[in-house]
Structure 1
Amino acid sequence: MGPLQIKELLQQTPDAKSVTLKGWVRTKRESKNAIFIALNDGSTIHNIQAVAAPGQFSAELLLTVTTGSCLKITGQLVASQGSGQAVEVKIDDIFVYGTADVDSYPLQPKRHSLEFLREIAHLRPRTNTFGAILRIRHSLAFAVHQYFNEKGFFYLHTPIITASDAEGAGEMFRVTTLDLDKLPRTDEGVINFKEDFFGREANLTVSGQLEGELGAMALSKIYTFGPTFRAENSNTTRHLAEFWMIEPEMAFFELEDNMELAEDFVKYVIRYALENCKDDLAFLENRLAEEDKNKPQNERSIPLLEKLNFVVENAFERLTYTEAIDILLKSKPHKEKKFQYPVGWGIDLSSEHERYLVEKHFKKPVILTNYPREIKSFYMKLDDDGKTVRAMDVLFPGIGEIIGGSQREDNYEKLLERVHEVGIDPEVIWWYLETRKFGTAPHSGFGLGFERLVLFVTGMSNIRDVIPFPRYPKSAEF
């Protein structure tokens, strides 16, 4: 099983028993009375202090014990003489697995900018900030699977390579084995994809939803949780080219059921993080507070734990898109022309509008429903008025939309009409349409971008900092 991790050792009784530590040096300092080495193995945000007597080890050995070096330390677990931790290790032996050159190791004991750390993504998990983010990311992923398992859902692995575009946006990465220097062409001069590996055009998926619906129409309740891709040339703080999506699909669920599930789910996973990531969240909250000291009062963030508890403790407000537009039209920011983007029925709400509803008007998370059909996807069920669809978006403080979903159109003729309306070739998704011909049923689902969730829970401001190795325009280094 190997040695105990530092997280476990910090909880042990200081009874002078022999222990073995393995990890990376965060700091080393020497005084006339002792040598102090702070070691971290990634299991916790906290370091463990190891102490040696002056002259106990050769100068040559101590020169290799620098920030970033990897060590194995054996010694006795004793009560700490310093403040901040109950135990420390009185060193008996040091073995150096690997040294870190003090002149070239980029992670020195000082504050580094997030922009700099993105340039060294192979090392940034060793920092306190990114160690905390990655541990929280793990806990949230675990909570996702645990929640759906407890609720009787089946985990469905949907394709990463697909010939369909679930969102109809066309911003997809092409998958091909064709020789780009010798592309086969038809008599009309277009690329002949019949000679490609799959015999047709293929892309990396933007969503597992369409295939997820197929699973739900047999297993009743499924969820997908996997990588998705969008070739959108965007350099904003909220977009990635490669990201992970959580997409449950449920047979016999209508819009109200879908809203109930979305609220229960997101509260569950955030509550799990609050209960199991206390030290990491406390660190990130303090980090955010330090950043906010340099900002004007009106630009400061809601304290992280307050924001998370705000979501967990409040019932989500539910209203229609039409009701939301009416509220925005009557709002002070609209009347004083302080909104950057115009307000009117038929617009796709911007983040500032969504945040106004959550943070200023209702002061609680909001679920908006029944959006205009023109601004939503083809697969959403048409309302009786013919103008709106049974869509729902969950809006959070500080971020706006975090979940998007809908009741899916289960009527074959209506779905086919929408497919033609938005310009999708029915032959491409014949299998999706056929489910409406063979035992159709009401069904619903939603999508949650996992990185958006991690962004919200950690309080980070850039989505590139909540995934280990971000992919965005002109960047696929690591």
Structure 2
Amino acid sequence: MIRIVDLLNQQPVGETIEVCGWLRTRRDSGALSFLEINDGSCLAGLQVVAEESLANYATEVSRLTTGCSLRIQGVLVASPAKGQDVEVQATTITVIGWADPETYPLQKKRHSFEYLRSISHLRSRTNALGAVARVRSTLSFAIHRFFHEQGFLQVHTPVITTSDCEGAGEMFTVTSLEPAQMQGSAPFSGDFFGRRAGLTVSGQLQAEIFALSHSRVYTFGPTFRAENSNTSRHLAEFWMLEPEMAFCDLNGNMEMAEVMIKYLVKAVLAECAEDLELFDRFIARGVHKKLTRLSDRPFVRLTYTEAIAELERSSRRFDFPVQWGLDLQAEHERYLCEEVAQAPVIVTNYPKKIKPFYMRLDDDGHTVAAMDILVAGIGELVGGSQREERYDLLAQRMTEAGLDLDQYSWYLDLRRYGSVPHAGYGLGFERLVQFVTGMSNIRDVIPFPRTPGSAPC
């Protein structure tokens, strides 16, 4: 059996082939039926010509409807039809599975993404969501390829953790106890792990352990945040890419992140041209041009103070206030990269009060060696920093953040024993997929979105 994408690319005309897929459409013309099948390997379908001389033409082929699964045997021939190079002259058509036309929810018409979210077990069969799946797979593979070429070691950090990296208190608790068993001043002392544990919001802290023994590492996996936000930008379960580099400062961190983003964008441009054309035509006009420009131009760098000054000079009326010391909101981030720089922007040196405890304190004592990469249509795509490698300053920041130093003694040990400057960043994978596809809702770039009140499949 051969994939449709291979048939269309290799075009072994004259050969007898076998191909399987799902029926998109059937059109009858006299003594012929024209079937379009797709197996998910590419956007394009394969036309199959079925003559009424087939043994099961009257009993099965003429009854085929959208969604049926088929095995086709036949000869690949040059196609006289416009818009396709080859087609299959069927010698045998086997119906593997029927699809009831009265209840099958996908027909040859455009369905809203909101409707498709209600049938998440079938939506990957549509053109747009199928294309998203292929782009997502290409990006995932390109991430591993990039870091392998750069000499990074992949580390599998835990999904269950006792450390709240962001300190925001938005972790999902993992427990084997019933509510009535959670009593007293230490309600989790009798729990499975003997202490409170949760689903990870980041693998960064554990990745730092291996960065300080293997120099260059990355972790790429699911993370979880119990943030009760039902918007087009938030998920309760999402994937994070988090590289960590020893002997690296903020500048090296920014350079690595910029090179990586350009590498990933070029991979999609090279390997997903047909899918990008669909997004450019039907989802987000100009997305192909946007990606091409990003891969060819340097990112613009601004300090947080410079970014605030740009926003204050703007005649734009923002919904959220612009003031030094307040965090940038998505509307501010998009304005900076879409209208001020007209390119991706790297904002650095944020006020320490709005950033986590692990970020390295700048010499001014008021800002930290942080960086965010902002892109059009999304806002923040990457967030990172040089980590605080100085024991005393880190312990002070942790105390100010209200963290139990005993609980994080292992993290402080990394500063006691052979500490070095090191840096890293996190990239929200779904935001990257959104950026390269132009999809407006983050729920449509992950196969099975988990959001407040919703966890299908």
**Residue 398 (structure 1) aligns with:** 377
1:158 matched to 2:157: yes
1:319 matched to 2:302: yes
**Residue 128 (structure 2) aligns with:** 129
Return the offset for 1:67: 0.5
**Residue 266 (structure 1) aligns with:** 261
Q: 2:207 aligns with which of 202, 209, 212?
A: 212
CA contact (8 A) 2:389 2:422 kept: yes
Cα gap change, 1:55 to 1:472, in 2 (>3 Å): same
Return the offset for 1:225: 0.2
Q: Please list every run of 5 or more consecutive structure 1 residues that lacks an aligned counterpart in the other structure.
A: 290-301
Q: Quick one: distance in 2 between partners of 1:414 and 1:166? A: 17
1:466 matched to 2:445: yes
Return the offset for 1:179: 2.7
AA at the equivalent of 1:53: E
% identical equivalent positions:
54
Return the offset for 1:357: 1.4
1:433 matched to 2:412: yes
**Residue 240 (structure 2) aligns with:** 245
Query: Quick check: 385-394 or 53-62, which moved more?
Result: 53-62
**Residue 47 (structure 1) aligns with:** 45
1:476 matched to 2:429: no
**1:241-280 Cα shifts (integer Å, max 9, x gaps):** 0000000000000011001001000110111001000001
Aligned-CA RMSD value: 1.2
**1:423-446 Cα shifts (integer Å, max 9, x gaps):** 111122110111011111000000
Q: 1:202 aligns with which of 197, 201, 220?
A: 197
CA contact (8 A) 2:23 2:36 kept: yes
Q: 1:373 aligns with which of 320, 341, 352?
A: 352
**1:22-47 Cα shifts (integer Å, max 9, x gaps):** 00000011111420000000000000
Q: Secondary structure at the match of 1:216?
A: helix
**1:274-328 Cα shifts (integer Å, max 9, x gaps):** 1000001101111125xxxxxxxxxxxx611111122111101112101111111
**1:114-137 Cα shifts (integer Å, max 9, x gaps):** 011001111111111111000000
Return the offset for 1:108: 0.7
Q: Quick one: distance in 1 between partners of 2:152 and 2:290? A: 29
Return the offset for 1:64: 4.6
Q: Quick one: distance in 2 between partners of 1:184 and 1:237? A: 35
Q: Quick one: distance in 2 between partners of 1:139 and 1:145? A: 10
TM-score norm. by structure 1 comes to: 0.93
Q: Quick one: distance in 1 between partners of 2:229 and 2:325? A: 24
Q: Quick one: distance in 2 between partners of 1:149 and 1:14? A: 35
Return the offset for 1:191: 5.5
AA at the equivalent of 1:207: S
Q: Quick one: distance in 1 between partners of 2:378 and 2:338? A: 10
1:362 matched to 2:360: no
Task: Point out 4+ residue stretches in structure 1 off by more than 4 angstroms.
Answer: none
Q: 1:305 aligns with which of 288, 291, 299?
A: 288
AA at the equivalent of 2:250: L
Return the offset for 1:55: 5.0
**Residue 397 (structure 2) aligns with:** 418
Q: 1:347 aligns with which of 300, 313, 326?
A: 326
**1:164-213 Cα shifts (integer Å, max 9, x gaps):** 10000101111111133x4153xxx3463121111111100000000000
Q: Quick one: distance in 2 between partners of 1:15 and 1:98? A: 28
CA contact (8 A) 1:6 1:41 kept: yes
**Residue 18 (structure 2) aligns with:** 20
AA at the equivalent of 1:61: E
Cα gap change, 1:357 to 1:58, in 2 (>3 Å): closer
TM-score norm. by structure 2 comes to: 0.98
**Residue 295 (structure 1) aligns with:** none
Return the offset for 1:63: 4.9
Q: Quick one: distance in 1 between partners of 2:11 and 2:251? A: 52
CA contact (8 A) 2:387 2:424 kept: yes
Q: Secondary structure at the match of 1:435?
A: helix
1:225 matched to 2:220: yes
